[in-house]
């Protein structure tokens, strides 16, 4: 069950990232991030209210910490996807998203099987290989610096998100997750103010980010459920394979070229999924 939930989370994250990246090329990525996370807050809060389960203060604190990571990860991911090649930024963002929770999981006593460790080990070179794209001259990705920096910052943010959510117990309900989404909105606004970026939704296209927020809420909820039925180290690695979805869509829709080395990385990512599932 953890495999299905985590892969469902990866699919929803990949779709959200792709459509969010497209929208961020028309609207400010800061605006996209604020509207998307606000929509996620409404979606998750409505479900949490219907469930009627109260969470302990400590669980809510984990939700706040996760929200800080979600806010940082989301806005830098959208900024990178808007200015560089999706087939580079998305895989790079998965490095921290996969690595930090594995470290936290092992530190808190998780002991994955040997096959699972092999699958985890395969995921990291897979992410690296997928990120080995050669940008065309004259494109935003040709310089490589903004896409790489944004991708890595996004990865650190998502790594914090996954690690913190992994500490929320099953009986806490969805209020910690709702607080995660709300905190991410505040984190984005504060970052925008510090970096002097416009975030107030003024463009009519900004409303489309509501759909992206719904996908993000679904992805995060599925990940939280995955951590309740399986190991954090397993759920985080599988959920961090979301770049495969973004890369495939970038190739099919935007006609981005995948080099042989990236194809090898996608194959290795598939092997990682199989090994973790078997383990």
pLDDT in tens, 15-34: 999 999 999 999 999 999 99
Please give the mean pLDDT across all residues of the chain.
Answer: 86
Task: For 110, list phi and psi in degrees, rounded to 5.
Answer: -70, 140
Listed as ranges, residues in the chain with pLDDT below 50 are 134-145
pLDDT in tens, 178-216: 999 999 999 999 999 999 998 999 888 899 999 999 999
pLDDT of 269 reads: 79
Q: Residue 200 corresponds to which tokens in the numbers above?
A: 């107030």
Contacts of 87 (CB under 8 A, 6+ apart): 130, 133, 246, 247, 250, 251, 256, 258, 262
Q: How far apart are CA 16 and CA 37, in angstroms?
A: 11
Whole-number Cα distances in Å, 49 to 36, 37, 42, 183, 222: 20, 18, 10, 18, 18
Q: Is 193 exposed, middle or buried (0-12, 13-18, 19+ CB in 10 A)?
A: exposed
Q: How far apart are CA 279 and CA 277, in angstroms?
A: 5
pLDDT of 145 reads: 44
């Amino acid at each position: 069950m953890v495999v299905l939930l985590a892969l469902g989370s990866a699919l929803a994250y990949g779709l959200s990232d792709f459509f969010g990246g497209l929208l961020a090329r028309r609207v400010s990525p800061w605006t996209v991030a604020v509207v998307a996370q606000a929509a996620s807050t409404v979606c998750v809060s409505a479900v949490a209210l219907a469930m009627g389960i109260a969470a302990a203060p400590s669980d809510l604190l984990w939700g706040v910490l996760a929200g800080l990571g979600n806010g940082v990860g989301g806005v830098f991911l959208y900024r990178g996807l808007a200015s560089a090649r999706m087939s580079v930024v998305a895989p790079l963002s998965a490095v921290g998203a996969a690595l930090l929770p594995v470290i936290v999981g092992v530190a808190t006593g998780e002991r994955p099987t040997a096959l699972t460790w092999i699958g985890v080990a395969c995921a990291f070179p897979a992410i690296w290989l997928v990120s080995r794209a050669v940008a065309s001259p004259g494109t935003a990705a040709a310089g490589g610096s903004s896409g790489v920096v944004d991708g890595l910052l996004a990865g650190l943010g998502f790594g914090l998100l996954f690690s913190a959510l992994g500490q929320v117990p099953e009986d806490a309900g969805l209020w910690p997750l709702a607080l995660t989404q709300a905190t991410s909105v505040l984190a984005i606004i504060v970052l925008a103010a510090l970096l002097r970026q416009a975030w107030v939704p003024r463009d009519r296209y900004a409303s489309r980010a509501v759909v992206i927020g719904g996908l993000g809420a679904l992805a995060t909820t599925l990940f939280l459920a995955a951590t309740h039925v399986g190991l954090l180290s397993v759920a985080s690695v599988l959920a961090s394979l979301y770049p495969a979805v973004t890369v495939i869509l970038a190739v099919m829709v935007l006609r981005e070229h995948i080099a042989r080395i990236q194809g090898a990385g996608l194959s290795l990512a598939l092997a990682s999924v199989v090994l973790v599932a078997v383990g």
